[in-house]
DNA sequence: GCAAAAGTGTTTGACATACACCCATGT
DNA sequence: ACATGGGTGTATGTCAAACACTTTTGC
């Protein structure tokens, strides 16, 4: 099994160019503006989507200015709630980059967040859900999105964060759909179920869901500790990482 | 193989408490002080050490204020060079945390860095090399150090960053010593060599090194692409991660 | 009875682990 | 000749991958 370095972005090769680098000198060293920027994902019937919010003329990732606290993760959650109306099921800091935008030097702390689809559509707050391939974004937003996707694809392979994308009760097919949407390729049903059963704390509820002219699916519940996202299934991710 | 989530620190449970949280309100939101803090490691004959520099009364991790640039990694390198006199062989951003120190809200961007031992001692600049267990540090420095160690231990298992701790020519025993120093437990010599040979781009130089009353060791050179740190040897790391 | 998705086992290959002896040198 | 670290191969088990058919329901 070969894995490429998921943290490759840190190496600087993918860093933003500084088109107006002279403007950067305007602000005193050590006191840049700081903002938090979040790639919020959800899976809506088999498709992975990112949340975008209106920013002046166009759309961009949800973002905001942190208040003076020691807990940046909590600030990310607050900003997400204020900006999109969604309550995250999972938040993880990604990395921090310098950005030169509108003549201001800004330090952007980027986050990955996940929500389960809530209710009929997943359009609660004032945000749009776009397919991850689609949107033309600013350079910085695009970087954050790309890296968030990379991390999500890698991490779904060895943690249980995928359950954060599903409602409390779900079918194994829905879980598999989430994996396939994120990885971008199909996975084997039998191997998938075996591994999930072995590695993730899920239990069959006994209830079934009928939704077509076919055998109904068993509903499962996830019983994982929220703080210890545990190991799950590396090997499928390898394909996605190689790409 | 079970792996725990190496990024667990992001989940907030290990975040700093805010003992003087009222002081945080002094500074306007979005314009905290920003500083870069670096856990710089080296292996000195079989022992893993961290670089500390003098900060007023005591010692702490190398740190500094970034200049207004888009490339924070480059700033980390510069600060490291200025503060310790060492030129890093490897730098990787870890995570960013809020710190309340000396009545100032500071956003600390933390880094992991590695250097090869240079020359007879590894004491070039104005820094001290301490064993990783030893030093009493500030809460923030300790967090950065702990997390850097966690990442280093995990990452040494599936990348080739260990070569960044060695001089250009090295024996396989030296490489193994570096692994054992970082992981904190011995590894099997034959399995180690097999895996290194299979997974890492190294070549025997044909030269030998005589250093005792025993058979001389073959010297090897590492031929890896600096930007693509490739896969190497997961399984030993699992032990360290479980701890 | 047929279409449509749910559910279920076995075989095979790859790879990690454990483990013990001979080799080259200096004294 | 002996002490010291350098260097090498095999046997075993675990685990992921590939793969096809039966079951239950709605129409």
Q: Give the pLDDT band of residue B2 (cuts 50, 70, 90).
A: very low
**Does the structure show a pLDDT above 80 at B236?**
no
Number of Cβ within a 10 Å radius of residue B207:
12
**Integer distance in angstroms from CA B108 to C1' C25?**
53
**Nucleic strand D within 7 A of Cβ B193:** yes
Among candidate residues B140, B155, B170, the one where a domain is terminated: B155
Number of domains making up chain B: 2
- Could you tell me which of B107, B112, B139, B36 has the C-alpha nearest to residue A75? B107
Angle, CA of B183, B16 and A155, to the nearest 5°: 50
Q: Which nucleotides of C are covered by protein (CB under 7 A)?
A: 3-10, 15-20, 23-27
In a domain, A1, yes or no: no
Query: How confident is the model over A158-187, as a mean pLDDT?
Result: 95
**Does the structure show a pLDDT above 90 at A148?**
yes
- CB distance B231–A4 less than 8 Å? yes
Size of interface A-B (CB pairs under 8 A): 164
Chain B residue at shortest CA distance from A2: B231
Among candidate residues B100, B128, B155, the one where a domain is terminated: B155
Report d(CA A157, CA A150) in Å as an integer.
11
Question: Would you report the helix, strand and coil content of chain A in percent, each value rounded to 5?
Answer: 30, 30, 40
Report d(CA A98, CA B79) in Å as an integer.
16
**Nucleic strand D within 7 A of Cβ A212:** yes
CA-based torsion, A113, A229, B72, A135: positive or negative? negative
Structural domain boundaries enclosing A221: 161-242
Contacts of A25 in chain B (CB under 8 A): 68
Residues B53 and B112 in one domain: yes
Which of B15, B33, B158 minimises the CB distance to A30?
B33
- CB distance B228–A107 less than 8 Å? no
pLDDT for the residue B23: 45
Report the DSSP beta bridge partners of residue B41: B50, B114
CATH of the domain at B227: 1.10.10.10
Report d(CA A114, CA A86) in Å as an integer.
10
Contacts of B91 in chain A (CB under 8 A): 10
Residues A136 and A228 in one domain: no
Residues A129 and A205 in one domain: no
Report d(CA A192, CA A186) in Å as an integer.
10
**Does the structure show a pLDDT above 60 at B121?**
no
Chain B residue at shortest CA distance from A112: B10
**Nearest CA to the C1' of D14 belongs to which residue?**
B1
Residues 196-215 of B with CB under 7 A from strand C: 208, 210, 212-215
Q: Is B126 exposed, middle or buried (0-12, 13-18, 19+ CB in 10 A)?
A: exposed
Residues B146 and B113 in one domain: yes
Please give the structure tokens belonging to residue A17: 């160019």
In a domain, A148, yes or no: yes
**Integer distance in angstroms from CA B2 to C1' C8?**
26
In a domain, B37, yes or no: yes
Residues A177 and A227 in one domain: yes
pLDDT for the residue B133: 87
Q: CB-based contacts of A173: which residues, under 8 Å, 6+ apart?
A: A217
Residues B196 and B133 in one domain: no
pLDDT for the residue A31: 81
**Nearest CA to the C1' of D17 belongs to which residue?**
A191
Among candidate residues A155, A180, A202, the one where a domain is terminated: A155
**Does the structure show a pLDDT above 80 at B241?**
no
Nucleotide nearest to B214 (CA to C1'): C25
In a domain, B1, yes or no: no
Residues B225 and B109 in one domain: no
Residues A171 and A60 in one domain: no
Residues A116 and A218 in one domain: no
Alpha carbon separation from B83 to A213, A221, B86, B118, B124 (Å, rounded) = 70, 52, 8, 17, 11
pLDDT digits (tens, 9 = 90+) for A8-45: 344 333 333 334 344 444 556 768 999 999 999 999 88
Which ranges in chain B belong to alpha helices (H)?
72-84, 139-155, 172-183, 189-199, 235-242
Report d(CA A5, CA B158) in Å as an integer.
8
Q: How far is B208 from chain A (nearest CA, A)?
A: 31
Which of A16, A33, A228 minimises the CB distance to B5?
A228
pLDDT digits (tens, 9 = 90+) for B134-189: 878 999 999 999 999 999 998 999 889 999 999 999 999 999 999 999 999 999 99
**Integer distance in angstroms from CA A189 to C1' D16?**
14
- CB distance B97–A66 less than 8 Å? no
Which of A3, A4, A5 is the mutation pick for testing B, counting most B CBs within 10 A?
A: A5
Residues B16 and B51 in one domain: yes
pLDDT digits (tens, 9 = 90+) for A86-130: 999 999 999 999 999 878 899 999 999 999 987 545 555 578 999
Per-chain mean pLDDT for chain A: 82
| DSSP-derived secondary structure for A137-186 | --HHHHHHHHHHHHHHHHHTTTSSGGGGGS-SEE-HHHHHHHHHHHHSS-
Pairing of strands B104-114, B90-101: antiparallel
**Nucleic strand D within 7 A of Cβ B171:** yes
Q: How far is B179 from chain A (nearest CA, A)?
A: 19
**Nearest CA to the C1' of C18 belongs to which residue?**
B188
Please give the structure tokens belonging to residue B36: 């870069």
Residues B106 and B194 in one domain: no
SS3 B161: helix
**Integer distance in angstroms from CA B193 to C1' C25?**
22
Rounded percentage of chain A residues whose pLDDT exceeds 90: 63
Nucleotide nearest to B177 (CA to C1'): D5
- CB distance A73–B159 less than 8 Å? no
**Nucleic strand C within 7 A of Cβ B236:** yes
pLDDT for the residue A139: 92
């Amino acid at each position: 099994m070969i894995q490429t370095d998921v943290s490759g972005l840190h190496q600087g090769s993918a860093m933003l160019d500084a088109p107006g680098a002279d403007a950067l000198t305007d602000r005193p060293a050590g006191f840049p503006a700081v903002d938090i920027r979040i790639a919020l994902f959800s899976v809506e019937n088999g498709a992975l989507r990112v949340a975008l919010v209106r920013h002046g003329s166009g759309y961009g990732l949800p973002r905001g200015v942190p208040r003076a606290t020691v807990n940046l993760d909590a600030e990310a959650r607050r900003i997400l709630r204020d900006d999109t109306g969604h309550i995250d099921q999972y938040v993880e800091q990604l990395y921090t980059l310098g950005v030169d935008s509108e003549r201001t030097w800004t330090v952007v702390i980027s986050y990955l967040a996940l929500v389960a689809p809530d209710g009929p559509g997943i359009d609660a707050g004032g945000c749009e859900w776009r397919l991850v391939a689609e949107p033309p974004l600013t350079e910085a937003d695009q970087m954050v999105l790309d890296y968030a996707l990379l991390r999500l694809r890698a991490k779904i392979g060895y943690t249980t964060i995928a359950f954060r994308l599903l409602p409390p009760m779900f079918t194994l097919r829905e879980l598999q759909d989430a994996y396939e949407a994120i990885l971008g390729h199909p996975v084997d049903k039998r191997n998938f179920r075996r591994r999930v059963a072995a590695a993730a704390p899920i239990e069959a509820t006994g209830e079934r869901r009928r939704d077509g002219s076919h055998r109904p699916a068993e509903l499962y519940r996830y019983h994982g500790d929220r703080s210890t996202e545990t190991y799950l299934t590396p090997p499928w991710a390898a394909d996605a990482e190689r790409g």
